[in-house]
Structure 1
Amino acid sequence: MVMASRRSLWLAAVALAFSAFAGAGHAGESGRLLADKPQGDRPVGVVELFTSQGCSSCPPADAFFSELAARQDLVALSYHVGYWDYLGWRDTLSSKENTERQYEYMRAFGNRSVYTPQAVINGRVHVNGANRGEVDGQLARMARIGEDMRVAIKVSRTSDRVMIDAGDGGTGPSDAHVVIVYFEPPQTVTIGQGENTGRKMTYWNAVTGIQTAGIWHGKAQRYELPMSEISKKGGCAVLLQSVGKDGLPGPILGAAFIHRPGSDAPFDRRL
């Protein structure tokens, strides 16, 4: 489905960021979180799906996205948008911030409209989010030509803080925003009205908020976050995303999950 752009929605430099994979936490006998062993494996890419419960074209993309979200070598995030709510069903996971992020991508890509299901890959290209071949093909192509996650990051934890260590960028873009993206555990929604009436859908990694944590200038740097903020959220990822002079989101240079205390994954993969 395609939605014409009626205005230029503002997106504060939120969709920008960085990292690679996060280490798994473990608790001692007292239940107190022990420091994690830092890890620096780089995911193969970042897939951001823009979707809506009110879009009849989205269920196949949502089903495919559940497979992407289960992969340990990808950072997959789902942004529910609200511009299809007028069709009869208000998306229970949508937010204005998610819609603004998609409009910012629209402007960055030089497009004149937004649509669902849209998959933005590594912040560089967009394809139909239901097209498995295009998503997989773009991830493979970017890995071949060096447009994958080129900046290493290590995530470690103590009982009261999370440390994000961004590596040296070498050549290429030297400025990026470090952004924390919060998302929900998988949840099942029964859609009561609109184009998908009667469907029962399970949605993974639905984004609930974006918070800029700092700016990276191309050299190794550490960022610290209070564990209290991370623990009270459902799930959490870090993105390192370059920003154009116009403030629009650019290529994602690195990404990682920040795992919940006592877990080696953002969520238990079993429902």
Structure 2
Amino acid sequence: MFARFQILLLTSALLAGPLHAEERPKGVVELFTSQGCASCPPADDAFRQIAGRQDVIALAYHVDYWNYMGWTDTLSSKENTERQYGYARMMGRGNVYTPQVIINGRDHVRGSDLSGIVSKVETYPGEGKGLTVPITTAMTGDELEITVGDGQGKANVVLVYYNKEKTIDVEKGENTGKKIAYLHSVANVETIGMWNGKQAVFKLPATVLQKQDLEGCAVLLQTSTSDGDPAAIIGATVIPAGKNI
């Protein structure tokens, strides 16, 4: 985890122009994967198709529990693994697996099940499980403002920093000899504030934006259990590098 003062870091490309509100996405798809997992490449391919959709926020969390198999996933972290275990506890599951996809922080699907993932993304809004709270971003003077709209309940405002694409030559383990391009690999997750159901503005200093060498950032409005585990995502937007939004 970054130190507290680093929570606010985005990529320097964000400073290239003004920020505008994005169209509200249909869903957030979180893939838990590993370079050392033989069954993960098909899920990584499915994830690439999901990531190509304009109405979905796709994030890939590389876990570290496959590292003992002879290859240390270069994108993995214990924090990503802890997030997956948090989801498991929230859903009452006793175990985790890869490849696993979580949709809107609510339910899981096998990561290679593209039709299952798409089905939940498409049907959740009509079932009251969509991203109902609007989130917009704007650059005002020397500050980046994140505005979270009205809704119900309480939730954390979470920033998820990710790389656009990383190509890895896997030299050991179950995927030995494969060259795999990984999209939207998460490098850090930080909570910057609490939303209590009323419109609120969260301000980040623009002076620190250039200090983070990452390529994108998602803003998630995510509820949590009484134990602090991640739960339903009720709002989201993306601040991608190199794009005026």
Q: Judge same fold: TM > 0.5, yes or no.
A: yes
Residue in structure 2 matched with residue 195 of structure 1 by the alignment: 174
Letter aligned with residue 254 of structure 1 = G
Match for residue 243 of structure 2 among 242, 263, 270: 263
Deviation per CA, 1:195-231, whole angstroms, max 9, x where unpaired? 0001110001101111111000001000011234443
Deviation sequence 1:44-91 (CA, Å, 0-9, x none): 000000000000000000111112222221111000001011111110
TM-score normalised according to structure 1 size:
0.81
Give the letter aligned to residue 226 of structure 1.
P
Work out the percentage of aligned pairs sharing the same amino acid. 46
Mapped to 2, the partners of 1:96 and 1:180 lie a distance apart of 18
Out of 251, 256, 265, the residue aligned to residue 232 of structure 2 is 251
Task: Please give the TM-score of this superposition, normalised by the length of structure 2.
Answer: 0.89
| Contact in 1 for aligned 2:22/2:238 (Cα 8 Å) | no
CA RMSD of aligned residues (A): 1.9
Q: 1:197 to 1:225 in 2, by over 3 A?
A: same
Match of 1:15 in 2: none
Is residue 175–residue 218 contact of structure 1 (8 Å, CA) maintained in 2? yes
Question: What's 2:158 paired with?
Answer: 179
In 1, the alpha carbon distance for the partners of 2:17 and 2:165 equals 27
Structure 1 residue 164 corresponds to structure 2 residue 166: no
- CA separation of 1:230 and 1:210: change in aligned 2, threshold 3 A: farther
| 1:184 counterpart letter in structure 2 | N
Pair 53,228 (structure 1): closer, same or farther in 2 beyond 3 Å: farther
8 A contact 2:67–2:73 mirrored in 1: yes
Partner of 1:71: 53
CA distance in 1, matches of 2:141, 2:185: 27
Any idea what SS the aligned residue of 1:39 has? coil
For the residue of structure 2 that corresponds to 1:258, the secondary structure is strand
Asked whether the equivalents of residues 79 and 207 of structure 1 are also in contact (C-alpha less than 8 Å), the reply is yes
Q: SS state of the match for residue 184, structure 2?
A: coil
The structural deviation recorded for 1:152 is 0.6
Q: Residue 233 and residue 178 in structure 1: after superposition, are their counterparts in 2 closer, same or farther (change >3 A)?
A: farther
* Partners of 2:84 and 2:209 in 1: CA distance: 25
1:101 aligns to 2:83 (yes or no): yes
Deviation at 1:189, TM superposition (A): 0.3
**Which residue pairs with 2:221 in the alignment?**
240
Which residue of the partner structure matches residue 18 of structure 1? none
- What is the alpha-carbon distance in structure 2 between the residues aligned to residue 44 and residue 194 of structure 1? 36
Question: Gapped runs of 5+ residues in structure 1?
Answer: 1-24, 27-31, 266-271
Structure 2 residue runs without a partner (length 5+): 1-12
How much has 1:158 moved relative to structure 2? 4.1
Deviation at 1:250, TM superposition (A): 1.2
How do 1:57-68 residues align onto structure 2 when only pairs under 5 Å count? Answer: 57-68=39-50
